[in-house]
Structure 1
Amino acid sequence: MQDSIPLGRAAPVTLRRARVPLPFLAVPPDGVTADRDGAVLVDVALAGGRITAVRPAGQGPADDDVDRDFDLAGRHLWPTLVDVHTHLDKGHIVDRAPNLRGDFLGARDATAADREARWRRPDLRRRMDFGLRCAEAHGVSAIRTHIDSYEGQAQDSWAVLAEMQAAFAERVALQGVALVALDVYRTPFAETLADLVAAGGGLVGGVTRATAGLHGEELADLEDLLDRLFTLAGERDLDVDLHVDESNDTAGAALPAVARATVRHGYEGRVTCGHCCSLALQDDAALAQHIALVRDAGLSIVSLPTVNMYLQDRVPARTPRWRGVTPVRELRAAGVRVAVAGDNCRDPFHAYGDHDMLDTWRQGVRILHLDHPFGDAAALCGPAPAAIMGLEAAGRIVVGGPADLIVLNARSMEQVMARPQADRAVIRAGRRLDRPLPDYAELGAGAALA
């Protein structure tokens, strides 16, 4: 289908009879009627790399001055998507650092060993560039990546992140978050790390476990560590993004502690928490109490459905009993901002993936039962993660915004879900993107298997 989209130059064009899910429209035009999937038919005019008009289908002016029209005939038109939680620095090491058990402990240990042995600037540069090109080819235009930032590693990793931000400027908006176990914040290195993050325009972050521990194991000084983290962030006016309660511990002690620390430090609306798996195992009363804390603290929650289903409840020779994903419906019903994201890609924490946010969203819809009806499920891969990243025009189709779009060969949400949309057409700044997926041979893939 890509070759049939006549967008080889930036001349004005109107994409007629485009089917757009309502969550992607910043301002739905008057007079449109949503179909059963919550999508509407519109004409979208493009010129100079921007969106110049969004009108009800067939109601454009007779003297429209566009040079060309293209009839999408009801096919879905989406904005380019936003992946708000990734690990580009870990990506594509699965061939050389396999997780032979497939569980969290195996992932932690295999990653740490590979990081210490191989994560030098040329290696980081090659793999992060590869991952970003995959994402761009799939139609992802904004990414937030967590960066392992332990002492002795942080300077190299943040330097390469800065290189990638420069190399992909105007292509993929890229944010960085410092990722360390929370006990690092009781060490003198914490101050150095916060300064490094501030210099890189990033976010303060971490994982609510000890360096050699697992989620669900008690951190006796959790409150003190969170206070130290928030103090460092506040002194530098940096937002916060944390990995929280990625386990089957029904107590889920870290999330309410983060919510209380957020309020204590006046950080409402500036904190994101990823995973929060243990919420799904709490009884109704505890769940309601914790969701109220999350809402009142203005926390944003990111669900990582593919990776959490891969890691959680993995026990040798036993079928998993639970999905390991956070209760998205209940959080959204309470008014909490929620997004889905891709998380790990071809590394010990998740052996699969391709930095394809559309694929992540499709899997998330199935896993989280966000269908029948689809309602505003599309918000979880566009406007919601864009808002978390503070990107006003990303993840939406808005007049005056960039003509960054995806055309799908599907005329209903069921068709979007039924096929992987490998023939999607990606449009950037009004032109069809011609960037093929990079070849795994660039990474030397397979050498470790010989």
Structure 2
Amino acid sequence: MITEVTDVAIFKQKALAWAAKFDTLCYLDSNSFNDPYSKFDTLITIGAKAELKANAGDAFDQLSAFRNNNPGWITGFFGYDLKNETENLRSNNTDYLDFPDLYFFAPEILISIKGNTVEITGDKDDEIFKSITGLEIVPDKQQPAINLQPRFSRQEYVETVEQIQQHIVRGDIYVTNFCQEFYADDTEIEPLSIFQNLNSLSPTPFSTFFKWNGNYIMCASPERFLAKRGSKLISQPIKGTARRDADEAVDQSLIDELRNHPKELQENVMIVDLVRNDLTHSAKPGTVKTEDLYGIQTFKQVHQMVSTVVCEIRDDVTAVEAVKNTFPMGSMTGAPKISAMQLMEQYERSKRGVYSGAVGYFSPDNDFDFNVVIRTLLYNSTKKYLSFHVGSAITYHANPESEYEECLLKAKAILEVLGVTERL
């Protein structure tokens, strides 16, 4: 059924609350950001009529077969450690969450929202609409403060960055994304309330609430990994971050500083070059180009430097292969890509898992859109383990103390939602 609603924000809130009662759901929300490549404002896929869970080895082959058997909508995620399948790499760090490297499902129910138009696909769609609109909105509960622990102390982080910079001096790498985990054991949360609070505090164009079998992804990502629109592939790596300020003049000066900061420009252009190279594996010769270099996007918490790289996909490359050819995304690895991933496996202290991976969809017309899993809480309700990673780009000119502060800036909304007030 297709219908109009008068208050989209209220409908989205009720639809997510209704969908959260199911064992499996994926909620993708653009939060009304203006994006020329978006197909919808919000997509909710609910219930699994078919599902695929796989780990690195032949996960992409399994996904190709699953996609052939389910040519309609499928939603799911790619974990960062699929790097071990796309390259000759290993993951030796401890996995505390026990999420699969890849999970996709074909939904029983689909709700798509664009403007004020709502489309519901599934059995008894009229009844679904009535059930959603008839829900009462329950106020979000305040999350009791979480006893959050770091894998690195501040001093350990600084010393590790200095060690990484010695690899840059030796020429092993040019730039890398070094990530650290914050976690809480034996913790009970209400994931839906946490996500709604996070999405309110930090609305972003690739926000996601994902649930399956008691596992949760609560994501406030500003970044697109890769999209396909017809014959066009689009990647929009983010490299470069600046804080916001309540004073409009100061806020504008922070944008100007970011736009002209040598270190931030260096980070961005190195990753743009890496993404251009990744896209050549799927592109028609001569079609890879940078549509926008050093663009600035402003979000509620931060300003970000975003570049847009595009190409025309070759006729012999499938949608799944296009993702595989560029995975993991350059903004979360470094350059050279393989060397950076090898080194980060050496210096990081926990498996990244879904963090640095991607969540999104394949649509019936064989287009797709996937975000970069950053600014994200991950929760295993069986193990009662709550986790988030945060990282920053390390270059020769990076200041280790400043990089640590950048990590905290990126985690600001998450820390606030978790009630963490002490200085980390």
TM-score range, shorter chain: under 0.3
Structure number having the greater strand percentage: 2
Per the normalisation by structure 2, the TM-score is 0.24
Larger Rg: 1
